[in-house]
Amino acid sequence: MSFQNKLLSAIRNSGSVLCTGLDPIPEAMPPELRRQYDTDRELVLAWCRRIIEQTKTGTAAYKVNLAYFEAIGPEGLTLLDEVLDAIPSGKVLIADAKRGDVPHSNERYKVAFFDRLGFDAITLSPFMGTETLVPFLGDASRAVYALTLTSNPGAAELMTRPFGKAPSLSAHLATLLRTCAAQHPGALGMVIGATQSEVYGPVLDAYPEAPLLIPGVGAQSGSITELERHLAGHPGIPLINVSRGLSAFDPESGESWDVQIADNTARFKKAFQTISDRYLT
């Protein structure tokens, strides 16, 4: 199955373009959960399994941030394997790795993340040139989401500045990505931050068919209304990622933290419904 078909199927089966981000920070987890486990490894596995259980019916994809697993130490990769095993089949699995290196090194990253760990997609930095993305683009069942217009404030130092004849470096990069995508069978999409609504337009216009991975909603307060407006004319299929916004819990609420996660999932699914509906028929 092509990546595009798997993506569309996952959205239709879940009824949503929601992507759940797994960013496990042991010290930020609920105290009642922390008391049950002696090691960070056990705690992270239990937390991830609970998040997956409470989000699985309403999410199309899971974005796993590798930094949080690497921070566990030597056991991080085996822990990651166990977490991936807990995710139901049919979901899109995204390695949020943000790797970026010369092609022969990226070939080994491709083996690690696609061949060994079984991810469907990976986030990559394209700032060493689009040639560095090519090792990941040989298989139509896999995808790359290239960092194009990120949600962090520091993006203003480079990404939103004019570049040559393009209104921004991000818009120039989108043009390069579109050219690269046409030359390879793998899907090549863009990471576009939801906090960047003022400068979306030229980037989306430069690569209108791009699949999109959109962080910045939730804890970073990106505007869903602005996303609706800009995505209305964008044929590429989006996934809207929420990480901390889903796993956040209120110790004073009276509900258990995992019930709060289920409530958060339902709330974001409803908030994205206008966008999701475009891909459900």
What CATH code is carried by the domain that includes residue 247? Answer: 3.20.20.70
Task: Say if pTM beats, i.e. exceeds, 0.85.
Answer: yes
pLDDT at residue 218 in the model: 63
pLDDT at residue 249 in the model: 84
pLDDT at residue 97 in the model: 96
pLDDT at residue 197 in the model: 81
Give the pLDDT confidence of 13-65 residue by residue, as tens digits.
999 999 999 999 999 899 889 999 999 999 999 999 999 999 999 999 999 99
Tens-level pLDDT at each residue, the chain (281 residues)? 999 999 999 999 999 999 999 999 999 899 889 999 999 999 999 999 999 999 999 999 999 999 999 999 999 999 999 999 999 999 999 999 999 889 999 999 999 999 999 999 999 999 999 999 999 999 999 999 999 999 888 888 999 999 999 999 999 999 999 999 999 999 999 999 988 888 888 999 999 999 999 998 865 667 888 888 889 888 999 999 999 889 888 887 778 888 999 999 999 999 999 999 998 87
- The tally of domains found in the chain comes to 1
pLDDT at residue 48 in the model: 97
pLDDT at residue 211 in the model: 97
> For residues 79 and 47, is the Cβ–Cβ distance under 8 A?
no
Amino acid found at 181: A
pLDDT at residue 195 in the model: 84
pLDDT at residue 132 in the model: 96
Range(s) of the domain holding residue 116: 3-279
Which residues carry out catalysis?
Answer: 98
pLDDT at residue 227 in the model: 87
